[in-house]
Amino acid sequence: MSNQYVLVINSGSSSLKFAVINSVTGDAVLTGLGECFGLEDSRMSWKYQGEKTSEAIQYDGSHHQYAVERVVKLLNTLGLTSDFVAVGHRIVAGGETFKGTVQVDEKVIEEVERLAELAPLHNKANAEGMRAAMKAFPSLPQFAVFDTAFHQTMPPKAFMYALPYELYEQHKVRRYGAHGTSHYYVSREAAKMVNKPVDNSSYITVHLGNGASVSAVKNGQCVDTSMGLTPLAGLMMGTRCGDIDPSVIEFLFRKGWEKDELFEMLNKKSGFLGVSGITSDARGVLEAMDEGNARAKLAFEIFTYRVAKYITSYLASLDSLDAIVFTGGIGENSLPIRREILNNLKILGFVEDEKGNEAARFGEGGEIGSSELLGAKALVIPTNEEFVIAQQSVELLK
Ligand code: ADP
């Protein structure tokens, strides 16, 4: 292999994606996924030279740690260890410390660990991933690409909370957002699809995975996003509650809830899981809904309604709209969820293109609707955070 390949490690809240990526073309030599971490059917699978392999994960400790060690073994077995020039890591929370991609060293890892106070589900896993990879590849430069970096262009009116100003001055309490690499990527791809320069067009990008967020992207820059100080805010998610009245916390305190129990509930027992009482996985919720389960239907309705509300409110951040872009595991794959969101946007003139929505069903992407009123399209674009991470790693290497 030539010197343009990067091993990319992308730890999600319940998954770990890995890939050996050509940083010029975006082509992947090897791709793999550990998924459903914490659930019974936790598993790892990968694709190499067209061949797919899958194995169950039976492990009691940290699934992220296990997954990195398994990836290292796999790379050794496939003889791929000596061929890439860098390792690129996706990191969720960079606070105001990291405004762009940086080379990883012990100081960076420690700062990422410190910033775990902003992303409890992710940053620890990210730091574990970096440590394991530094140990496995001590002579390779490693880079950290932050999910918050793209959101650093938000104006103060979007990132400040209406709290005493001192909280920002003393503790940097503010909106940081997350999924920035994904919002960055799909906004660039959307510009290609509507055939306009990205720096002269506007998008609302909707990343719906286990974690979920919406961003308003104006002339290539993020101007608002739905996640906040932590990835708990905004949309309803797999296990996270999204926006609630902060007084719910005080109310439950007074009912005798402990602090840890409360935050565990908001982060890990809410969202699809909490409302449906069945699973955090959108597929399971949709199946239960089809079988007539009323709480699964309620979860579906809260989720899709809230996405539509955020899209509508972000029109206030833009002068015009060229496209709404759906991405992430749910956004790329779930026809009924996309359909219901577009239904909820009828007042903005959005009409579903049923054939397009069908065709985009299996993660292929495409146009799924449009609004004559706004002169905007609704698009599905498979995200490719790994490609962005590989590109930015090699750019910094140069
Ligand atoms: P993460 O935030 O962990 O990276 P992903 O972007 O991989 O998550 O998205 C995971 C979500 O995508 C899960 O809720 C899963 O159920 C959902 N998903 C994947 N495929 C489908 C599908 N065909 N229909 C509906 N939801 C799907």
Tokens of 83: 């061929």
Alpha-carbon gap, residue 232 to 121, rounded angstroms = 10
CATH domain 195-380 topology: Nucleotidyltransferase; domain 5 (3.30.420)
Q: Is there a contact between 210 and 329 (Cβ–Cβ < 8 Å)?
A: yes
Q: Is there a contact between 370 and 376 (Cβ–Cβ < 8 Å)?
A: yes
pLDDT of residue 63: 74
Alpha-carbon gap, residue 148 to 157, rounded angstroms = 17
CA of 36 to the centre of ligand 1 (A): 10
The kind and range of the H/E element at 68 are helix 63-78
Return the exposure string of 256-275: e unless at least 16 CB atoms fall within 10 Å of the residue's CB, then b.
Answer: eeeeeeeeeebbbebbbbbb
CA of 11 to the centre of ligand 1 (A): 14
Tokens of 91: 């990191």
**Average pLDDT in the chain:** 93
- Domain map of the chain by residue range? 5-146, 195-380
Nearest CA to ligand 1 atom 7: 329
pLDDT per residue as tens digits for the range 224-270: 999 999 989 999 999 999 999 999 999 999 999 999 999 999 999 99
With the most atoms of ligand 1 within 8 angstroms of its CB, the residue from 43, 207, 210, 280 to mutate is 210
pLDDT at position 312 over 60: yes
With the most atoms of ligand 1 within 8 angstroms of its CB, the residue from 37, 44, 232, 334 to mutate is 334
3-state secondary structure of 387: helix
Task: Please state the atom number of ligand 1 nearest to the C-alpha of residue 17.
Answer: 4
Tell me whether domains 5-146 and 195-380 share a fold: yes
Nearest CA to ligand 1 atom 23: 333
Q: How many CA atoms lie within 13 A of 256 on its CB side?
A: 0
pLDDT per residue as tens digits for the range 116-151: 988 877 888 888 889 888 888 888 999 999 999 999
Does the predicted TM-score (pTM) go above 0.95?
A: no
Task: Please state the atom number of ligand 1 nearest to the C-alpha of residue 286.
Answer: 25
* Residue 281 among the catalytic residues: no
Q: What's the CA angle centered on 103, arms 65 and 230, to 5 degrees?
A: 60
Alpha-carbon gap, residue 285 to 265, rounded angstroms = 19
pLDDT of residue 35: 85
CA of 256 to the centre of ligand 1 (A): 35
pLDDT of residue 13: 67
Q: Are strands 212-218 and 221-225 parallel, antiparallel or unpaired?
A: antiparallel
Q: Are strands 376-380 and 323-327 parallel, antiparallel or unpaired?
A: parallel
Alpha-carbon gap, residue 281 to 130, rounded angstroms = 27
Q: Quick one: residue 254, left, alpha or beta (phi over 0 = left, psi -120 to 50 = alpha)?
A: alpha
What is the number of H-type helices and E-type strands within the chain?
15, 15
pLDDT at position 12 over 80: no
The kind and range of the H/E element at 45 are strand 43-48
Alpha-carbon gap, residue 231 to 267, rounded angstroms = 9
What's the average model confidence in pLDDT over 275-286? 98
User: What would the DSSP string read from start to end of 284-323?
Assistant: HHHHHHHTT-HHHHHHHHHHHHHHHHHHHHGGGG-S--SE
CA of 282 to the centre of ligand 1 (A): 6
Taking CB atoms and a 6 Å cutoff, what residues make up the pocket around ligand 1? 12-15, 209-211, 238, 281-283, 286, 328-330, 333-334
CA of 18 to the centre of ligand 1 (A): 16
Alpha-carbon gap, residue 233 to 249, rounded angstroms = 14
Question: What is the percent of the chain with per-residue pLDDT over 90, rounded to a whole number?
Answer: 77
Task: Please state the atom number of ligand 1 nearest to the C-alpha of residue 280.
Answer: 14
Q: In DSSP terms, which residues pair with 47 in a beta bridge? A: 31, 52
pLDDT at position 178 over 80: yes
Alpha-carbon gap, residue 59 to 68, rounded angstroms = 13
Nearest CA to ligand 1 atom 24: 334
CA of 331 to the centre of ligand 1 (A): 8
pLDDT per residue as tens digits for the range 47-96: 999 899 999 887 777 677 788 888 888 988 988 877 789 999 999 899 99
Question: Which residue matches tokens 């420690």?
Answer: 110
* Domain covering 5-146: architecture: 2-Layer Sandwich (3.30)
Amino acid making up residue 167: L
**Exactly one of 105, 147, 224, 290 is catalytic; which is it?**
147
CA of 125 to the centre of ligand 1 (A): 19
> Is residue 3 very low, low, confident or very high in pLDDT (cuts 50, 70, 90)?
low
Question: Which residue matches tokens 């906004």?
Answer: 187
Nearest CA to ligand 1 atom 4: 12
pLDDT of residue 119: 80
Alpha-carbon gap, residue 87 to 108, rounded angstroms = 15
Task: Please state the atom number of ligand 1 nearest to the C-alpha of residue 238.
Answer: 14
